[in-house]
Structure 1
Amino acid sequence: MLGPPPHPAFDRSCLHHAADLRRLGIEPTRGQWHQVRHGVWVRAEAFAGMDALDRHAALVHASVLTHRGPTELTLAREAAAAVWGLPRITAWPTTVHHLVTRRGVSGSRILRPFLGAEAEPVTAEGLQVTSVARTVIDLARTGTVHDAVAAADYALHHRLCTPAELAAEAAAVAPRAHGRGAAVLVAELADGLSMSPGESLSRVQMFVLRLPRPQLQVRYHDDQGLIGDVDFGWEGAVGEFDGRLKYRVPPGGSTQDVHRVIWAEKRREDRLRRQTGVARWVWAEAVQKYRLAAILAQVGITPERRSAWFDLGA
């Protein structure tokens, strides 16, 4: 079952060159405008309404707009991830990376070369970027496993790439290249059944803690019918990451709507607890793996002597 549609593409039409604004008699430095990077501005109100992903996408598009090099940039790593709409757990960087295949290419304070193997560029949102699978593997090699798995899960969930494509990109990393192990691990851990970055983060923490590998999106029924799908399932226990989507109220919803959503979730949990142990946690607990471990231990999910998630030596 697919989740909500992918993150809407950043609307680059909201970006304006300072020179174009001044030709219209608008001086952006006098207020109501926000400078994305030198020479490129966006209305302050629009910038305030952007999430962190869109703000990095704005920086990426602005960097391409102001690039004066002899060749078109192939955006990579976090820059490509922002164009593809891939989520991230840690903060977005203040730099924009583009792929280069030889040393000695100079960069700037914001625009940075990323030395990597040659890649067939893909056009997305009017920009030249690395493919989704290659982008995920580059994130794995240069950043955290948590960020890369969140991006990989999202990409698989929304069918932006396939497990085979991720595995092929990981296998293509040279044997002694930096980050090869992380690339292979991310390709192995990626799962399109994951529904949110919080679930991806939780699953990586479970792997690090050597907890038993859970099943994802396990369906439960009782004599009243369908209870619903739980995020994580083990024999005798289930786990639920409490993200905001579970308590989402339609825009303009009333106080009664809020109470109705909370009450429905409580009744669902009561029905689950009649069948199995239930552990719940929030973002602050998922980030701190030992707090997550303590919560899961309360329902009998404890570390294994040897991780049985998969054979990394195979």
Structure 2
Amino acid sequence: MLGQPAPEPFDPQVLRLYSVLRRQGIDPKRHQGWARVRRGVWVKAGTWAGLTPEQRHAARAHALTLVCDPDRSWTFTHETAAAVWGLPRIEPWPDAVRTLVVGTRRRGSPGVRPTPGLDVVAEVVHGIRVTPVGRTVVDLARSGSLPTAVAAADHALRHGLCTRDDLAREADAVPRRRRGRPQAALVVDLADGDSMSAGESLSRVQMFRLGVPRPRLQVRHEDAQGLIGIVDFDWDGAVGEFDGKVKYRASDGDSAAQVSEVLWREKKREDRLRARGRVARWTWEIALDQERLGAVLAAQGVLPDPRASWFDLGQRRVG
């Protein structure tokens, strides 16, 4: 499969209760080899350092279930459910975990953000209760940024965590005139399982906002020598590549000669693409800046077009 593999889920087996560590003669507060996840729950410092921000957020949810009242069932939602499912996020991950509250709003525990919402049949993932993927994506769309919601939706479709129909049903289930319903509908329309990374999803949202023609994704390019490669974005006469630096990286431990060969192969690949048309490359820093990305695309002839439509006529919409 093209693109990045699905991230490894956080393993809650690495968490340790403070009370258990003390019985074992270990005081993590006085030992630099331990990191605090939340009050009463610790993990080895080396393990914590090796976790991604997404895994750290999931760890906080697992830690809460270790110290909470066993008679109270937490259902994690929004970005916390996303972290447990392994969905990507464009913005930094928050410190507080989100839990679903149906009906009367309750005060949260330290580090917990109780969020009112519609009742849902939760799913158990890695031992804790979370909102289903489709509902999670729609919650992100209703309360957060469009890039993060589209990145989560793209990832979910690509890895088979839900279907487009699942997303559509969840968007349709949001009561009319409720906050975020139009953006949830937009996310369903923009979602594309051919997007290979969160950076590509972010770039596509910026293109939508810029009003440039909708690109084709993961398009094969060939010449007389055969396959050149599969490009991230394709327009007539121009292609786009997100985060070109990644394509120049060699593997850890490679020799200088091997690194040189990686660079040479990529140069030849780009020369062959340029022989067929224009090539735009950009990185995370540029993708985050709509104006800068617009300038990069414009330099290669990809310009805003008021006639360009990103959606087929008659495509399902949520009113």
Query: Into which bin does the TM-score normalised by the smaller protein fall?
Result: over 0.9
Contact 1:102 1:115 in 2 (8 A): yes
Give the Cα–Cα distance (whole angstroms) in 1 for the partners of residues 80 and 51 of structure 2. 16
Q: Does 1:20 align with 2:15?
A: no
Contact 2:87 2:155 in 1 (8 A): yes
Please give the secondary structure, in 2, of the residue aligned with 1:274: helix
The one-letter code of the counterpart of 2:271 is D
Give the Cα–Cα distance (whole angstroms) in 2 for the partners of residues 38 and 243 of structure 1. 42
Please give the secondary structure, in 1, of the residue aligned with 2:187: helix
Give the Cα–Cα distance (whole angstroms) in 2 for the partners of residues 213 and 144 of structure 1. 20
Distance apart, 1:45 and its partner CA: 1.1
Please give the secondary structure, in 2, of the residue aligned with 1:123: strand
| TM superposition score normalised by structure 1 | 0.96
Unpaired runs of 5+ residues, structure 1, are: none
Give the Cα–Cα distance (whole angstroms) in 1 for the partners of residues 142 and 230 of structure 2. 33
Distance apart, 1:60 and its partner CA: 1.2
Cα distance, 1:313–1:87 mapped onto 2, change above 3 Å: closer
Per-residue CA deviation, residues 39-85 of structure 1 (Å, 9 max, x unaligned), is 10011111111111111111111112122163311110111111111
| TM superposition score normalised by structure 2 | 0.94
Distance apart, 1:12 and its partner CA: 0.8
Give the Cα–Cα distance (whole angstroms) in 2 for the partners of residues 235 and 119 of structure 1. 45
Name the structure 1 match of 2:6: 6
The number of equivalent residue pairs is: 314
1:86-165 superposed matches below 5 A: 86-165=87-166
Give the Cα–Cα distance (whole angstroms) in 1 for the partners of residues 183 and 259 of structure 2. 42
Give the Cα–Cα distance (whole angstroms) in 1 for the partners of residues 42 and 88 of structure 2. 24
1:246-257 superposed matches below 5 A: 246-257=247-258
Give the Cα–Cα distance (whole angstroms) in 2 for the partners of residues 44 and 243 of structure 1. 33
Contact 2:280 2:297 in 1 (8 A): yes
Distance apart, 1:248 and its partner CA: 4.1
Cα distance, 1:313–1:120 mapped onto 2, change above 3 Å: closer
Distance apart, 1:17 and its partner CA: 0.5
Distance apart, 1:106 and its partner CA: 1.8
Give the Cα–Cα distance (whole angstroms) in 2 for the partners of residues 264 and 132 of structure 1. 39
Q: What percent of counterpart residues are identical?
A: 52
Give the Cα–Cα distance (whole angstroms) in 2 for the partners of residues 51 and 74 of structure 1. 22
Give the Cα–Cα distance (whole angstroms) in 2 for the partners of residues 154 and 184 of structure 1. 17
Give the Cα–Cα distance (whole angstroms) in 2 for the partners of residues 313 and 132 of structure 1. 20
Distance apart, 1:137 and its partner CA: 0.7
